[in-house]
Chains A and B, each alone.
Chain A
Amino acid sequence: MRSPAKHLAALATGAVVLAAACTSAPASDNVLRIAMGSPGEAQIRVWDDVAKQFEAANPGMKVELNYQDDDLYQTIGLQNLLNGRNAPDIYFEWTGNRLAQRVKDGFAADISSKFDSGPLAGLFDDTTLDEYKIEDKIVMVPYSADVTNVLWYNKQILADAGVQPPTSWEELLAVCDTLNAAGVTPIASGNKDLWAAGNWLSHMASRVVGEDAYVSTLGGTGKFATPEWEKAFGYITELADHKCVNESANSIDDNEGAQLFFQGKAAMHPIGSWLVSWAIDEAPDLDFDYVNLPAMPDGAGNQDSVIGVQTGFVINAKSAKVDKAAEFMAMLNSDENVQKLIEAEVTPLTKSASAGQDIDSRSANLTALLNDAPAIVLPPDTGYDLEMADALYAAEAAVLGGQQTPAEALGGIDKKIGR
């Protein structure tokens, strides 16, 4: 028979385990909570470092950094965090539809005063800050501007095949044919999650239908199944016909797609400005550069348009620590930390950043590309409604994979989102 002591011990252990289970995220008031996606090891180190600096300067306060899976963060991760217990005081966002929604839902504090006379004064140019205003109020602290998609190419492979990086659509198709004949995959794309090629193809579509039509269709209620969009999607079919993209595109994700490029298994890779830091880490011997999306024949849009997005950090209007949050962001954007961010291959938007050196020339060129762009196109998934973006990406992927005709795919979008 068991003795009472053993029983007590068992119950006590159980209670302790349960107690340990219950006390997971203590809701104390001196914790500054920051939420974002997964920016990569280099950036994480800088953030962790700044967190320590902040804790040192504010004894008694703790900084809690929450790095979520990117896809989760963008879909419901952030929503859940904001609506749950221990909502973040500072969180990452993209300009566009999403930011407007945050303001509407009351999650974005008006921090204009922090830039006038508060801790963030003097760090940013007024023109930079303009992009971060909703209804004339600054609601986000600028972080970086990303070019969402350009066509990266492996200099060596193109040279070996005797071709130049394409600047027009016809040149692109010709390069694909030459490379295929030489047994090299022309373009690598990791499109399992649909956005990698989606952004590229959406940019291409915007060049054909024109920026105005792009904005009005994506942001409005008009149908996708129209002649202009069919014409745009027709070019996607041409890509498929010329076997420009790797066969495995729809089963590998963006990381694996990049790996194909890093390993020299593909000549070109359409992806965003974040490739630079990654490539330098993963494939230091890779000699690569980029061209903006080739000009589309007979397109209604500006053929030098750039697809890009501004990102930043919003201070939660419902937070009790708005002032402390602003101080943290100021600390993050101190000259010293900005240099560290630059070393981590971020392109910060502070005044001090442009004055600094050590930025990779490609990153610098991309920043200039975005700054000097005659027209900027927002990516579907961050600039507009997510459900619509998903349907658009899926349609583009289907046409790229030869599964559907442009008409079928566009009709499918309308059906899915009820237009």
Chain B
Amino acid sequence: MKSTRPVTPYLFLAPALAVFGFAVLAPMLLTVGFSFTEWNGFGPMTFVGVDNYARATADAVFRDSFVHVVIYILATLVLEVALGLGLAGLLSVGRGGLWFRVAFFAPVMLPLVVVAVLWSFVYNADFGLINAGLGAIGLHDFQRVWLGDTSTALLAVSFVSGWVFAGFYMMIFYAAFRQIPNEVLEAARMDGAGEWALFRLVKVPMIRNAIAVAILLCVTGGFQGFDLFFVLTNGGPYGSTEIPTTYLVKTVFRNGDVGYGSAMAVVLTAIVLGVGFVYTRLHRPGTTA
């Protein structure tokens, strides 16, 4: 459509661009700029070249934070995406509708702070629900300091994440299942397929795209995780749940090291964008239906 004046489209675009540019694009560029300096936020700024990046690669805490976040992502792929897929499958076979969806999806609506405060009580080693429950049925040996034991803390946080987001992925897959044409399913049933076979061989393959999207969301979202980790453990027992973002926040907002924090932020961004691009590239050619 032609506009009455050539400048009109730009006028419509300007407000969104202004807000977005000011609050997202410009700071992103500035962050890259800061990463080459040493600065505490209000004093003098000194240019240090790639020193911060060298420091980041040598920083054991930073490296470990990526190990932790990858473990977290793998755990959530199971606890959120796979579980969500399973739940969606059950939903599409069973009956129940709204109340099941409420039970599973309600946690998604909550601020993660609420979830974290609630679960830090559930996990409390001395008074919490889990240890109390285990004790009540005589399983004292299984009691742990869930958030204080280096071998359980990371998984404990991942589990909470699963509790929150399994419902979200369930909704995505459920919506995708509903798109599957009835005839396909009826045909398979006529051929004698049971529900489990139907799920495995028909439904899941047919929503391949949604699954791909879900995996991408889970992975890129996982790298950016913060809220739960901050409130539950904040780096956790002896740094065993330190993830890139909590470390970043500590570096910049506790120690005032803006330059180094920016360099780490750039590295994290590069990894997230890289994973995203590689993934979409892998999936473009293979897309069907």
Q: Does A168 count as interface, using CB distance less than 8 angstroms?
A: no
Separation in Å of the B123 CB from the closest CB of chain A? 8
- Cα of A79 to Cα of B255 in the assembled complex, Å: 11
- Cα of A249 to Cα of B147 in the assembled complex, Å: 10
Task: Indicate whether A248 sits within 8 Å of B148 (C-beta atoms), given known contacts A76-B253, A386-B255.
Answer: yes
Segment 110-141 of B: residues with Cβ below 8 Å from A: 123-126
Encode contact with B along A93-113: 1 for CB under 8 Å, 0 otherwise.
Answer: 000000000000000000000
Q: Does A354 count as interface, using CB distance less than 8 angstroms?
A: no
Q: Does A397 count as interface, using CB distance less than 8 angstroms?
A: yes
Contact A252 B150 (CB under 8 A): no
Residue in chain A with minimal CB distance to B120:
A251
Contact A260 B126 (CB under 8 A): yes
Contact B255 A251 (CB under 8 A): no
Q: Does A398 count as interface, using CB distance less than 8 angstroms?
A: yes
Q: Does B254 count as interface, using CB distance less than 8 angstroms?
A: yes
Task: Indicate whether A394 sits within 8 Å of B238 (C-beta atoms), given known contacts A76-B253, A265-B126.
Answer: yes
Residue in chain B with minimal CB distance to A74:
B254
Contact B253 A75 (CB under 8 A): yes
- Cα of A256 to Cα of B117 in the assembled complex, Å: 13
Encode contact with A along B221-237: 1 for CB under 8 Å, 0 otherwise.
Answer: 00000000000011001
Q: Which of A83, A248, A398, A401 contacts B125, CB < 8 Å?
A: A248
Task: Indicate whether A247 sits within 8 Å of B238 (C-beta atoms), given known contacts A75-B254, A76-B253, A386-B255.
Answer: no
Q: Does A206 count as interface, using CB distance less than 8 angstroms?
A: no
Q: Does A403 count as interface, using CB distance less than 8 angstroms?
A: yes
Separation in Å of the A103 CB from the closest CB of chain B? 16
Interface residues on chain A, number (Cβ under 8 Å) = 24
Separation in Å of the B142 CB from the closest CB of chain A? 14
Contact A251 B145 (CB under 8 A): yes
Q: Which of A246, A387, A394 contacts B239, CB < 8 Å?
A: A394
Q: Does A250 count as interface, using CB distance less than 8 angstroms?
A: yes
Contact B238 A398 (CB under 8 A): yes
- Cα of A404 to Cα of B239 in the assembled complex, Å: 13
User: Across the interface, which residues of A come within 8 angstroms of B255, CB to CB?
Assistant: 386-387, 390
Separation in Å of the A56 CB from the closest CB of chain B? 37
Task: Indicate whether A401 sits within 8 Å of B237 (C-beta atoms), given known contacts A75-B254, A76-B253, A79-B256.
Answer: yes
Contact B124 A252 (CB under 8 A): yes
Contact A248 B126 (CB under 8 A): yes
Encode contact with A along B149-177: 1 for CB under 8 Å, 0 otherwise.
Answer: 11001000000000000000000000000
- Cα of A260 to Cα of B124 in the assembled complex, Å: 12
Separation in Å of the B203 CB from the closest CB of chain A? 42
Residue in chain A with minimal CB distance to B145:
A248
Separation in Å of the A184 CB from the closest CB of chain B? 13
Contact A252 B125 (CB under 8 A): yes
- Cα of A75 to Cα of B124 in the assembled complex, Å: 27
User: Across the interface, which residues of A come within 8 angstroms of B237, CB to CB?
Assistant: 250-251, 401
User: Across the interface, which residues of A come within 8 angstroms of B145, CB to CB?
Assistant: 247-248, 250-251
Residue in chain B with minimal CB distance to A251:
B148
- Cα of A292 to Cα of B185 in the assembled complex, Å: 76
Contact B238 A250 (CB under 8 A): yes
Segment 255-289 of B: residues with Cβ below 8 Å from A: 255-256
Contact B148 A249 (CB under 8 A): yes
User: Across the interface, which residues of A come within 8 angstroms of B150, CB to CB?
Assistant: 403
Separation in Å of the A159 CB from the closest CB of chain B? 24
User: Across the interface, which residues of A come within 8 angstroms of B124, CB to CB?
Assistant: 248, 251-252, 256
Contact A76 B148 (CB under 8 A): no
Contact A397 B253 (CB under 8 A): no
- Cα of A250 to Cα of B42 in the assembled complex, Å: 34
User: Across the interface, which residues of B come within 8 angstroms of A248, CB to CB?
Assistant: 124-126, 145, 148
Q: Does B53 count as interface, using CB distance less than 8 angstroms?
A: no
User: Across the interface, which residues of B come within 8 angstroms of A386, CB to CB?
Assistant: 254-255
Q: Does B146 count as interface, using CB distance less than 8 angstroms?
A: yes
Encode contact with B along A386-398: 1 for CB under 8 Å, 0 otherwise.
Answer: 1100100010011
- Cα of A247 to Cα of B144 in the assembled complex, Å: 9
Contact B42 A83 (CB under 8 A): yes
Separation in Å of the B277 CB from the closest CB of chain A? 34
Separation in Å of the A97 CB from the closest CB of chain B? 15
Contact B146 A251 (CB under 8 A): yes
- Cα of A397 to Cα of B238 in the assembled complex, Å: 8
The CB with the most chain B CB atoms within 10 A, among A83, A250, A394, A398, is that of A250
Separation in Å of the B264 CB from the closest CB of chain A? 15
User: Across the interface, which residues of B come within 8 angstroms of A251, CB to CB?
Assistant: 123-125, 145-149, 153, 233, 237
Separation in Å of the A196 CB from the closest CB of chain B? 14
- Cα of A274 to Cα of B97 in the assembled complex, Å: 54
- Cα of A401 to Cα of B256 in the assembled complex, Å: 29
User: Across the interface, which residues of B come within 8 angstroms of A265, CB to CB?
Assistant: 126
- Cα of A83 to Cα of B150 in the assembled complex, Å: 39
Residue in chain B with minimal CB distance to A415:
B60
Q: Would you give 13 A-B contacts (Cβ < 8 Å), ordered by A?
A: A75-B254, A79-B41, A192-B148, A248-B145, A250-B238, A251-B123, A251-B124, A251-B148, A251-B233, A387-B255, A394-B239, A401-B238, A404-B238
Give chain A's interface residues, CB within 8 Å of chain B: 75-76, 79, 83, 192, 246-252, 256, 260, 265, 386-387, 390, 394, 397-398, 401, 403-404
Give chain B's interface residues, CB within 8 Å of chain A: 41-42, 123-126, 145-150, 153, 233-234, 237-239, 253-256
Closest 5 CB pairs of A and B: A251-B148, A248-B125, A251-B147, A250-B148, A75-B254
